[in-house]
Amino acid sequence: MRASIFASVLAAAAVCGGLLLAVWLVLRPAGAALRTAEFSSATLTPDADGLDDVLRIRYELARPALVSIFLLDAAGTRYTFRSASQRSSGSHAVLFSGIVDGFALAGETVSAEILARVLPAGDYTWVVAAAAPGGDSERRGTLSILSQPAPLPDVRGFSVSPLVFTPNRDGISDRVWINAYLAAPAKLDVSLIDDAGAARPIPEREGTIAPGAAGLHTFEYEGGVDLGVNPPPDGTYSVVALAQDALGQRVRAQGKLAIELGGVPRAEIVNAAVSFEPATIVQGEALNFSLTVENYGTAPLRTTGPAPGYAYKQNENANTLGWFEESGAWRVGLDCDTCIRDYPWRWALGTPEELTKIGDYYYLMPGQRVTISSSVLITDVPERNPLYFWAGLIHEDVEISNVNNRVDPFFVTIVPRN
Protein backbone atom coordinates (compact mmCIF):
# COMPACT_ATOMS: atom_id res chain seq x y z
CA MET A 1 0.00 0.00 0.00
CA ARG A 2 2.75 2.37 1.00
CA ALA A 3 4.65 1.57 -2.17
CA SER A 4 1.59 2.38 -4.25
CA ILE A 5 1.16 5.80 -2.58
CA PHE A 6 4.85 6.56 -3.01
CA ALA A 7 4.68 5.69 -6.69
CA SER A 8 1.65 7.94 -7.16
CA VAL A 9 3.46 10.89 -5.53
CA LEU A 10 6.48 10.37 -7.75
CA ALA A 11 4.29 10.26 -10.86
CA ALA A 12 2.47 13.49 -9.89
CA ALA A 13 5.76 15.25 -9.19
CA ALA A 14 7.07 14.16 -12.56
CA VAL A 15 3.98 15.50 -14.34
CA CYS A 16 4.21 18.89 -12.52
CA GLY A 17 7.90 19.11 -13.27
CA GLY A 18 7.24 18.42 -16.91
CA LEU A 19 4.57 21.13 -17.07
CA LEU A 20 6.85 23.66 -15.39
CA LEU A 21 9.65 22.79 -17.80
CA ALA A 22 7.33 23.26 -20.75
CA VAL A 23 6.14 26.65 -19.50
CA TRP A 24 9.72 27.76 -18.90
CA LEU A 25 10.74 26.68 -22.38
CA VAL A 26 7.89 28.72 -23.88
CA LEU A 27 8.27 31.84 -21.76
CA ARG A 28 12.01 32.02 -21.19
CA PRO A 29 13.94 34.83 -22.93
CA ALA A 30 14.98 33.54 -26.33
CA GLY A 31 18.49 34.85 -26.68
CA ALA A 32 19.50 38.53 -26.86
CA ALA A 33 16.84 41.23 -26.46
CA LEU A 34 18.07 43.03 -29.60
CA ARG A 35 17.62 40.70 -32.54
CA THR A 36 18.59 43.00 -35.42
CA ALA A 37 19.59 46.63 -36.05
CA GLU A 38 20.57 48.48 -39.22
CA PHE A 39 21.02 51.95 -40.73
CA SER A 40 19.46 52.33 -44.17
CA SER A 41 22.59 54.09 -45.49
CA ALA A 42 26.28 54.19 -44.63
CA THR A 43 26.49 57.89 -45.56
CA LEU A 44 24.56 61.05 -44.66
CA THR A 45 24.75 64.66 -45.89
CA PRO A 46 22.73 66.70 -43.37
CA ASP A 47 22.74 70.04 -45.16
CA ALA A 48 18.99 70.59 -45.77
CA ASP A 49 19.37 70.41 -49.56
CA GLY A 50 16.77 67.66 -49.85
CA LEU A 51 19.29 64.99 -50.91
CA ASP A 52 20.47 62.28 -48.52
CA ASP A 53 19.49 64.44 -45.54
CA VAL A 54 17.77 61.61 -43.66
CA LEU A 55 18.24 57.88 -43.16
CA ARG A 56 16.12 55.26 -41.43
CA ILE A 57 17.17 53.23 -38.40
CA ARG A 58 15.42 49.87 -38.01
CA TYR A 59 15.71 47.41 -35.13
CA GLU A 60 13.81 44.45 -33.69
CA LEU A 61 13.40 43.51 -30.05
CA ALA A 62 12.72 40.02 -28.73
CA ARG A 63 11.21 41.50 -25.56
CA PRO A 64 10.68 44.96 -24.01
CA ALA A 65 13.91 46.83 -23.40
CA LEU A 66 15.50 50.22 -22.79
CA VAL A 67 16.96 51.22 -26.14
CA SER A 68 19.84 53.63 -26.65
CA ILE A 69 21.13 54.81 -30.02
CA PHE A 70 24.41 56.71 -30.18
CA LEU A 71 27.48 57.30 -32.35
CA LEU A 72 31.17 57.20 -31.53
CA ASP A 73 33.82 59.21 -33.33
CA ALA A 74 37.39 58.08 -33.88
CA ALA A 75 38.40 59.40 -30.44
CA GLY A 76 35.59 57.49 -28.74
CA THR A 77 33.49 60.58 -28.01
CA ARG A 78 29.85 59.59 -27.64
CA TYR A 79 27.01 61.50 -29.37
CA THR A 80 23.55 60.49 -28.15
CA PHE A 81 20.49 60.21 -30.40
CA ARG A 82 18.28 58.20 -28.02
CA SER A 83 19.00 57.44 -24.38
CA ALA A 84 17.42 54.51 -22.50
CA SER A 85 14.02 54.87 -24.19
CA GLN A 86 11.49 52.21 -23.19
CA ARG A 87 10.35 50.17 -26.21
CA SER A 88 8.07 47.13 -26.54
CA SER A 89 9.01 43.89 -28.29
CA GLY A 90 8.74 43.82 -32.08
CA SER A 91 9.98 45.91 -35.00
CA HIS A 92 10.77 49.61 -34.68
CA ALA A 93 11.93 52.34 -37.04
CA VAL A 94 13.04 55.95 -36.58
CA LEU A 95 14.37 58.62 -38.92
CA PHE A 96 17.82 60.11 -38.30
CA SER A 97 18.97 63.43 -39.78
CA GLY A 98 22.34 63.68 -38.09
CA ILE A 99 20.93 65.60 -35.11
CA VAL A 100 22.08 64.43 -31.69
CA ASP A 101 21.97 65.81 -28.16
CA GLY A 102 23.74 69.14 -27.77
CA PHE A 103 27.51 69.35 -27.60
CA ALA A 104 30.19 72.02 -28.00
CA LEU A 105 33.20 71.75 -30.25
CA ALA A 106 36.69 72.07 -28.83
CA GLY A 107 37.67 75.72 -28.38
CA GLU A 108 34.17 76.92 -29.26
CA THR A 109 32.42 79.72 -27.34
CA VAL A 110 28.61 79.54 -27.34
CA SER A 111 26.39 81.91 -25.34
CA ALA A 112 23.22 79.79 -25.26
CA GLU A 113 22.65 76.24 -24.05
CA ILE A 114 22.99 73.78 -26.94
CA LEU A 115 20.03 71.38 -26.96
CA ALA A 116 20.52 69.60 -30.29
CA ARG A 117 23.21 69.76 -32.95
CA VAL A 118 24.14 68.09 -36.21
CA LEU A 119 27.22 65.89 -36.26
CA PRO A 120 30.29 67.38 -37.93
CA ALA A 121 31.76 65.68 -41.02
CA GLY A 122 33.65 62.51 -40.24
CA ASP A 123 33.49 58.73 -39.80
CA TYR A 124 31.48 57.26 -36.92
CA THR A 125 30.56 53.94 -35.38
CA TRP A 126 26.85 53.69 -34.71
CA VAL A 127 25.54 51.63 -31.81
CA VAL A 128 22.04 50.40 -31.07
CA ALA A 129 21.97 49.00 -27.54
CA ALA A 130 19.16 47.26 -25.63
CA ALA A 131 19.08 46.80 -21.86
CA ALA A 132 16.62 44.16 -20.61
CA PRO A 133 16.26 41.47 -17.93
CA GLY A 134 18.37 38.52 -18.92
CA GLY A 135 21.23 40.62 -20.30
CA ASP A 136 22.13 43.58 -22.48
CA SER A 137 22.85 43.41 -26.18
CA GLU A 138 23.91 45.73 -28.98
CA ARG A 139 24.56 45.98 -32.70
CA ARG A 140 27.16 48.17 -34.43
CA GLY A 141 27.91 49.58 -37.84
CA THR A 142 29.62 52.53 -39.56
CA LEU A 143 28.32 55.88 -40.78
CA SER A 144 30.10 58.68 -42.62
CA ILE A 145 28.86 62.29 -42.34
CA LEU A 146 29.87 63.90 -45.64
CA SER A 147 28.81 67.54 -45.27
CA GLN A 148 29.82 70.28 -42.91
CA PRO A 149 26.86 71.55 -40.84
CA ALA A 150 25.44 75.05 -40.97
CA PRO A 151 26.54 77.48 -38.25
CA LEU A 152 24.89 77.01 -34.88
CA PRO A 153 21.99 79.49 -34.36
CA ASP A 154 23.48 80.81 -31.15
CA VAL A 155 21.43 83.32 -29.13
CA ARG A 156 23.72 86.10 -27.97
CA GLY A 157 23.20 89.26 -25.93
CA PHE A 158 20.07 87.82 -24.32
CA SER A 159 18.57 90.28 -21.83
CA VAL A 160 15.34 90.84 -19.91
CA SER A 161 14.49 94.30 -18.62
CA PRO A 162 13.22 95.34 -16.22
CA LEU A 163 13.76 92.33 -14.00
CA VAL A 164 10.74 93.29 -11.87
CA PHE A 165 7.58 93.70 -13.96
CA THR A 166 4.46 95.42 -12.59
CA PRO A 167 1.73 94.99 -15.25
CA ASN A 168 -0.93 97.39 -13.95
CA ARG A 169 -0.75 100.37 -16.37
CA ASP A 170 0.63 102.71 -13.74
CA GLY A 171 3.40 103.92 -16.03
CA ILE A 172 6.11 102.25 -13.93
CA SER A 173 7.69 99.03 -15.28
CA ASP A 174 4.55 98.23 -17.27
CA ARG A 175 6.45 96.59 -20.11
CA VAL A 176 9.19 94.02 -20.44
CA TRP A 177 11.73 94.11 -23.25
CA ILE A 178 13.65 91.03 -24.30
CA ASN A 179 16.63 91.29 -26.64
CA ALA A 180 18.09 88.28 -28.43
CA TYR A 181 20.76 88.34 -31.13
CA LEU A 182 20.58 85.42 -33.58
CA ALA A 183 24.00 84.38 -34.83
CA ALA A 184 22.47 82.51 -37.80
CA PRO A 185 19.00 82.28 -39.40
CA ALA A 186 16.55 80.29 -37.27
CA LYS A 187 13.01 80.24 -35.95
CA LEU A 188 13.13 82.19 -32.69
CA ASP A 189 10.43 81.89 -30.02
CA VAL A 190 10.33 83.60 -26.63
CA SER A 191 7.98 82.50 -23.84
CA LEU A 192 7.18 83.18 -20.22
CA ILE A 193 7.32 79.87 -18.29
CA ASP A 194 5.72 79.33 -14.87
CA ASP A 195 6.70 76.79 -12.22
CA ALA A 196 4.27 74.23 -13.67
CA GLY A 197 5.91 74.50 -17.09
CA ALA A 198 3.00 76.34 -18.74
CA ALA A 199 4.23 78.68 -21.47
CA ARG A 200 2.88 82.08 -22.51
CA PRO A 201 4.29 83.18 -25.89
CA ILE A 202 5.75 86.69 -26.06
CA PRO A 203 5.35 88.40 -29.44
CA GLU A 204 8.27 89.81 -31.36
CA ARG A 205 8.19 93.55 -31.85
CA GLU A 206 7.94 94.56 -35.48
CA GLY A 207 11.14 96.19 -36.65
CA THR A 208 13.59 96.43 -39.47
CA ILE A 209 14.68 92.79 -39.29
CA ALA A 210 12.60 89.93 -40.65
CA PRO A 211 11.51 87.18 -38.23
CA GLY A 212 14.07 84.40 -38.21
CA ALA A 213 16.83 86.46 -39.83
CA ALA A 214 20.26 86.71 -38.26
CA GLY A 215 20.60 89.83 -36.14
CA LEU A 216 19.00 91.55 -33.16
CA HIS A 217 15.40 90.66 -32.32
CA THR A 218 13.31 92.51 -29.73
CA PHE A 219 10.27 91.11 -27.92
CA GLU A 220 7.77 93.22 -25.98
CA TYR A 221 5.43 91.98 -23.23
CA GLU A 222 2.75 93.87 -21.30
CA GLY A 223 1.02 90.90 -19.71
CA GLY A 224 -2.24 91.39 -21.61
CA VAL A 225 -3.29 94.31 -19.41
CA ASP A 226 -3.56 96.70 -22.37
CA LEU A 227 -6.28 94.40 -23.75
CA GLY A 228 -8.14 94.27 -20.44
CA VAL A 229 -6.87 90.76 -19.68
CA ASN A 230 -5.55 89.89 -16.23
CA PRO A 231 -1.79 89.32 -16.31
CA PRO A 232 -0.13 86.16 -14.97
CA PRO A 233 -0.26 85.87 -11.16
CA ASP A 234 2.46 87.58 -9.17
CA GLY A 235 5.54 85.39 -8.81
CA THR A 236 8.87 84.51 -10.38
CA TYR A 237 8.96 83.22 -13.95
CA SER A 238 11.51 82.06 -16.51
CA VAL A 239 11.84 83.89 -19.81
CA VAL A 240 13.05 81.37 -22.38
CA ALA A 241 14.28 81.95 -25.93
CA LEU A 242 14.40 78.89 -28.22
CA ALA A 243 16.08 79.02 -31.62
CA GLN A 244 15.88 76.18 -34.16
CA ASP A 245 17.34 76.21 -37.66
CA ALA A 246 16.36 74.29 -40.81
CA LEU A 247 18.61 71.36 -39.85
CA GLY A 248 16.97 70.96 -36.44
CA GLN A 249 19.83 72.45 -34.43
CA ARG A 250 18.38 73.99 -31.27
CA VAL A 251 19.70 76.32 -28.58
CA ARG A 252 18.12 77.89 -25.52
CA ALA A 253 18.77 81.09 -23.58
CA GLN A 254 16.86 82.02 -20.47
CA GLY A 255 16.53 84.55 -17.67
CA LYS A 256 14.28 85.32 -14.71
CA LEU A 257 11.41 87.78 -14.38
CA ALA A 258 9.49 88.73 -11.23
CA ILE A 259 5.86 89.89 -11.57
CA GLU A 260 4.52 92.10 -8.80
CA LEU A 261 1.41 94.24 -8.23
CA GLY A 262 -0.17 92.94 -11.43
CA GLY A 263 -3.76 93.45 -12.48
CA VAL A 264 -6.14 95.39 -14.69
CA PRO A 265 -6.72 98.84 -13.11
CA ARG A 266 -10.39 99.57 -12.45
CA ALA A 267 -11.88 102.51 -10.57
CA GLU A 268 -14.97 104.67 -10.58
CA ILE A 269 -16.63 107.69 -9.03
CA VAL A 270 -19.02 105.88 -6.71
CA ASN A 271 -22.63 106.05 -7.91
CA ALA A 272 -21.52 108.60 -10.52
CA ALA A 273 -22.42 111.17 -7.90
CA VAL A 274 -20.72 114.50 -7.15
CA SER A 275 -21.85 116.97 -4.54
CA PHE A 276 -21.44 120.55 -5.84
CA GLU A 277 -22.34 123.81 -4.13
CA PRO A 278 -23.38 126.57 -4.46
CA ALA A 279 -25.38 126.86 -7.69
CA THR A 280 -24.92 130.64 -7.72
CA ILE A 281 -21.43 131.98 -7.12
CA VAL A 282 -20.38 135.58 -6.64
CA GLN A 283 -17.11 136.38 -8.41
CA GLY A 284 -14.32 135.81 -5.89
CA GLU A 285 -16.09 132.93 -4.15
CA ALA A 286 -15.41 129.19 -4.52
CA LEU A 287 -17.20 126.30 -6.16
CA ASN A 288 -16.97 123.39 -3.75
CA PHE A 289 -17.28 119.70 -4.57
CA SER A 290 -17.04 116.30 -2.93
CA LEU A 291 -17.04 112.79 -4.39
CA THR A 292 -15.93 109.26 -3.55
CA VAL A 293 -13.59 107.11 -5.62
CA GLU A 294 -13.35 103.33 -5.30
CA ASN A 295 -10.63 101.02 -6.58
CA TYR A 296 -12.71 97.94 -7.42
CA GLY A 297 -9.99 96.17 -9.38
CA THR A 298 -7.09 93.94 -8.36
CA ALA A 299 -4.29 96.38 -9.14
CA PRO A 300 -3.13 99.34 -7.04
CA LEU A 301 -3.73 102.76 -8.66
CA ARG A 302 -0.79 105.14 -8.73
CA THR A 303 -1.73 108.73 -8.10
CA THR A 304 -0.11 112.12 -7.80
CA GLY A 305 -0.94 115.53 -6.33
CA PRO A 306 -1.91 118.00 -5.34
CA ALA A 307 -3.64 116.40 -2.38
CA PRO A 308 -7.40 116.79 -1.86
CA GLY A 309 -8.20 120.03 -0.11
CA TYR A 310 -5.97 122.19 -2.28
CA ALA A 311 -8.04 125.19 -3.46
CA TYR A 312 -7.28 126.14 -7.06
CA LYS A 313 -7.71 129.63 -8.43
CA GLN A 314 -9.67 129.68 -11.66
CA ASN A 315 -6.64 130.67 -13.75
CA GLU A 316 -4.44 127.92 -12.28
CA ASN A 317 -4.10 124.30 -13.37
CA ALA A 318 -2.14 121.30 -12.22
CA ASN A 319 0.71 122.07 -14.61
CA THR A 320 1.15 125.65 -13.35
CA LEU A 321 1.60 124.19 -9.87
CA GLY A 322 4.26 121.75 -11.08
CA TRP A 323 1.97 118.70 -10.94
CA PHE A 324 2.48 117.77 -14.57
CA GLU A 325 0.60 114.95 -16.25
CA GLU A 326 2.22 111.57 -15.60
CA SER A 327 1.57 108.59 -17.83
CA GLY A 328 -0.30 105.95 -15.86
CA ALA A 329 -1.23 108.17 -12.90
CA TRP A 330 -4.85 108.50 -11.74
CA ARG A 331 -6.38 111.80 -10.64
CA VAL A 332 -9.78 113.34 -10.02
CA GLY A 333 -10.44 116.41 -12.14
CA LEU A 334 -12.97 119.21 -12.65
CA ASP A 335 -13.90 120.59 -16.06
CA CYS A 336 -16.31 123.20 -17.40
CA ASP A 337 -17.92 124.44 -20.60
CA THR A 338 -15.41 127.27 -21.05
CA CYS A 339 -12.23 125.53 -19.83
CA ILE A 340 -9.43 125.88 -22.37
CA ARG A 341 -8.14 122.34 -21.68
CA ASP A 342 -9.61 119.09 -20.40
CA TYR A 343 -9.84 118.86 -16.65
CA PRO A 344 -7.47 121.70 -15.77
CA TRP A 345 -8.02 121.25 -12.01
CA ARG A 346 -6.78 117.88 -10.78
CA TRP A 347 -6.25 116.20 -7.41
CA ALA A 348 -4.68 113.00 -6.07
CA LEU A 349 -6.86 110.07 -5.05
CA GLY A 350 -6.38 110.78 -1.37
CA THR A 351 -3.90 112.28 1.04
CA PRO A 352 -0.51 110.67 1.74
CA GLU A 353 -1.97 109.35 5.00
CA GLU A 354 -4.82 107.61 3.15
CA LEU A 355 -2.64 106.19 0.39
CA THR A 356 -0.02 103.43 0.43
CA LYS A 357 3.55 104.31 -0.49
CA ILE A 358 5.26 101.75 -2.73
CA GLY A 359 8.79 102.77 -3.63
CA ASP A 360 8.68 106.46 -4.46
CA TYR A 361 4.98 106.53 -5.41
CA TYR A 362 1.58 106.61 -3.70
CA TYR A 363 -1.23 104.17 -4.50
CA LEU A 364 -4.93 103.68 -3.83
CA MET A 365 -5.07 99.99 -3.02
CA PRO A 366 -7.58 97.40 -4.32
CA GLY A 367 -10.91 97.57 -2.49
CA GLN A 368 -10.14 100.97 -1.01
CA ARG A 369 -12.52 103.94 -1.09
CA VAL A 370 -11.57 107.54 -0.48
CA THR A 371 -13.59 110.77 -0.39
CA ILE A 372 -12.10 113.75 -2.19
CA SER A 373 -13.28 117.27 -1.39
CA SER A 374 -11.89 120.55 -2.63
CA SER A 375 -12.75 123.80 -4.43
CA VAL A 376 -11.98 126.19 -7.28
CA LEU A 377 -11.94 129.94 -6.58
CA ILE A 378 -13.91 131.69 -9.35
CA THR A 379 -11.93 134.82 -10.25
CA ASP A 380 -13.42 135.58 -13.67
CA VAL A 381 -16.86 135.75 -15.20
CA PRO A 382 -16.81 133.76 -18.45
CA GLU A 383 -18.64 134.98 -21.52
CA ARG A 384 -20.75 131.87 -21.41
CA ASN A 385 -22.70 132.22 -18.20
CA PRO A 386 -24.40 130.28 -16.64
CA LEU A 387 -22.38 127.15 -17.49
CA TYR A 388 -21.83 123.53 -16.53
CA PHE A 389 -19.10 122.15 -14.28
CA TRP A 390 -18.51 118.40 -13.94
CA ALA A 391 -16.06 115.87 -12.52
CA GLY A 392 -14.00 113.09 -14.06
CA LEU A 393 -11.66 110.27 -13.06
CA ILE A 394 -8.60 110.46 -15.28
CA HIS A 395 -6.07 107.73 -16.07
CA GLU A 396 -3.47 110.06 -17.52
CA ASP A 397 -2.17 109.30 -21.03
CA VAL A 398 -4.27 106.11 -20.96
CA GLU A 399 -7.97 106.93 -20.96
CA ILE A 400 -10.94 108.59 -19.36
CA SER A 401 -13.54 105.85 -19.54
CA ASN A 402 -17.09 106.76 -20.47
CA VAL A 403 -18.35 105.91 -17.00
CA ASN A 404 -15.81 108.30 -15.45
CA ASN A 405 -16.09 111.18 -17.93
CA ARG A 406 -18.37 114.22 -17.55
CA VAL A 407 -19.80 112.89 -14.30
CA ASP A 408 -22.83 114.59 -12.70
CA PRO A 409 -22.78 117.98 -14.54
CA PHE A 410 -23.80 120.93 -12.31
CA PHE A 411 -25.28 124.17 -13.70
CA VAL A 412 -23.65 127.23 -12.15
CA THR A 413 -24.44 130.92 -12.45
CA ILE A 414 -21.53 133.31 -11.81
CA VAL A 415 -22.48 136.77 -10.61
CA PRO A 416 -20.02 139.62 -11.20
CA ARG A 417 -18.84 141.38 -8.09
CA ASN A 418 -19.70 145.08 -8.16
Q: What percent of the chain has pLDDT over 70?
A: 93
Fold assignment, 155-259: Immunoglobulin-like (2.60.40)
* pLDDT at site 207: 81
* pLDDT at site 30: 55
Confidence grade of residue 26 (pLDDT, cut at 50, 70, 90): very low
Q: What is the pLDDT of residues 294-353, one digit of tens each?
A: 999 999 999 999 999 999 999 999 999 999 999 999 999 999 999 989 999 999 999 999
* pLDDT at site 126: 98
Confidence grade of residue 24 (pLDDT, cut at 50, 70, 90): very low
End-to-end Cα separation, the chain, in angstroms: 147
pLDDT at 3 over 90: no
* pLDDT at site 240: 98
Q: The CATH number of 34-145 is which of 3.40.50.2000, 1.10.40.30, 2.40.30.10, 2.60.40.2550?
A: 2.60.40.2550
Q: What is the pLDDT of residues 160-211, one digit of tens each?
A: 999 999 999 999 999 999 999 999 999 999 999 999 999 999 999 988 799 9
Q: What is the pLDDT of residues 80-111, one digit of tens each?
A: 999 999 999 999 999 999 999 999 998 999 99
> Residue type at 144?
S
Mean pLDDT of the chain: 92
Indicate where the chain has its CATH 2.60.40.2550 domain(s). 34-145
Q: What is the pLDDT of residues 215-243, one digit of tens each?
A: 999 999 999 999 989 999 999 999 999 99
Q: Which CATH superfamily is domain 267-415 in?
A: Immunoglobulins (2.60.40.10)
pLDDT at 7 over 50: no
Q: What is the pLDDT of residues 29-79, one digit of tens each?
A: 457 999 999 999 999 999 988 899 999 999 999 999 999 999 999 999 999
Q: What percent of the chain has pLDDT over 90?
A: 88
Q: What is the reported pTM?
A: 0.83
pLDDT at 23 over 50: no
Indicate where the chain has its CATH 2.60.40.10 domain(s). 267-415
Average confidence (pLDDT) over 278-289: 97
Indicate where the chain has its CATH 2.60.40.1930 domain(s). 155-259
Confidence grade of residue 418 (pLDDT, cut at 50, 70, 90): confident
